[in-house]
A and B are shown apart, each in its own frame.
Chain A
Amino acid sequence: MPSEPSTEPAKKVRPAHSQRAEIIFRSLATAAGATIVAAIALIALFLLIRAWPSVMANEANFFASTEFVTNNADHLRFGIRDLLMVTVLSSMLALVIAVPVGVGIALFLTHYSPKTMARPFAMLVDLLAAVPSIVFGLWGVLVLAPQLEPVETFLNRNLGWLFLFSDGNVTISGGGTIFTAGVVLAVMILPIITSVSREVFNLTPAAHIEAAHALGATKWEMVRMTVLPYGRSGVIAGSMLGLGRALGETIAVLLVLRTSAQAGHWSLFDGGFTFASKIASAASEFSSPLPTGAYIAAGFVLFALTFVVNALARLVAGGRVNG
Chain B
Amino acid sequence: MTTTTLDKPVKAPTFRHVSASRRIRNNLATGVVWACFAIALVPLVWVLLMVVTKGFEAITSLSWWEKSQKGVLPDQFAGGVYHAIYGTIVQTAVAAVIAVPLGIMAAVYLVEYGRGWLAKTTTFMVDILAGVPSIVAALFIFALWIATFGFPQSAFAVSLALVLLMLPVVVRSTEEMLKLVPDELREASYALGIPKWKTILRIVVPTALPGMLSGILLALARVMGETAPVLVLVGYSKSINTDLFDGNMASLPLLIYQELSNPEPAGRLRVWGAALTLILIIALLYVAAAVVNKLLTRNR
Contact = CB atoms under 8 A, between A and B. Distances in A.
Interface of A: 2-4, 7-10, 13-14, 18-19, 21-22, 24-26, 28-37, 39-40, 42-43, 46-47, 49-50, 100-105, 107-113, 115, 118, 121, 124-125, 127-128, 130-136, 138-139, 143, 187, 190, 194, 202-206, 209-210, 213, 216, 218-221, 223, 241, 244-245, 247-251, 255, 275-276, 279-280, 283-284, 286, 289, 292, 295-296, 299, 302-303, 306-307, 309-311, 313-314, 319, 321-323
A36 B122 contact: yes
Given A9-B195, A210-B6, A30 B40 contact: no
Given A9-B195, A33-B118, A113-B37, A302 B135 contact: yes
Contact of B30 (A204, A219, A309): A219
B275 A138 contact: yes
Interface residues of B, number: 117
Contacts of B257: 134, 251, 255
A248 B134 contact: yes
Interface stretch (B67-75, B137-145, B239-247, B292-300): B137-145
B135 A135 contact: no
Contact of A34 (B118, B164, B181, B228): B118
Contacts of B134: 248, 250
Contacts of A39: 125, 129, 164, 167
A190 B194 CA distance: 47
Given A42-B144, A306-B131, A306-B136, A13 B193 contact: yes
Given A2-B183, A30-B118, A9 B128 contact: no
A100 to B, nearest CB: 8
A271 B197 CA distance: 57
A21 B139 contact: no
B110 interface: yes
Interface string B105-133: 11011111111001101111111111111
Nearest to B5: A206
A104 B35 contact: yes
Given A2-B112, A105-B37, A206 B232 contact: no
Contacts of A24: 197
Interface stretch (B57-65, B76-84, B89-97, B278-286): B278-286
Interface string B150-162: 0000000000000
Contacts, number: 321
A33 B106 contact: yes
A18 B3 contact: no
Given A101-B40, A132-B282, A310-B127, A209 B3 contact: yes
Contact of B43 (A13, A128, A223, A321): A128
Contacts of A279: 135, 139, 232
B200 to A, nearest CB: 7
Given A7-B187, A283-B232, A311-B128, A32 B140 contact: no
A149 B253 CA distance: 27
A218 B13 CA distance: 12
**Interface of chain A: mostly helix, strand, loop or mixed:** helix
Given A101-B40, A202-B2, A280-B227, 14 more contacts: A2-B111, A22-B197, A29-B109, A46-B148, A108-B33, A131-B47, A135-B51, A135-B278, A138-B260, A209-B2, A220-B29, A283-B138, A292-B142, A299-B136
B122 A37 contact: yes
B32 interface: yes
A250 B113 contact: no
Contact of B1 (A130, A202, A219, A319): A202
A3 B94 CA distance: 33
Contact of B105 (A28, A251, A289, A322): A28
B186 A280 contact: no
A47 B143 contact: yes
A108 B2 CA distance: 11
25 contacts: A9-B196, A29-B109, A30-B118, A32-B104, A34-B118, A36-B167, A37-B122, A46-B140, A46-B148, A47-B143, A101-B39, A107-B33, A110-B1, A112-B34, A113-B37, A134-B225, A134-B256, A138-B260, A190-B40, A218-B18, A219-B26, A248-B135, A280-B232, A283-B138, A303-B136
B36 A101 contact: yes
Interface in B166-217: 167-168, 171-172, 176, 178-179, 181, 183, 186-187, 190, 193-201
A279 B140 CA distance: 12
B236 to A, nearest CB: 9
Contacts of A131: 44, 47-48, 225, 279
A24 B112 CA distance: 14
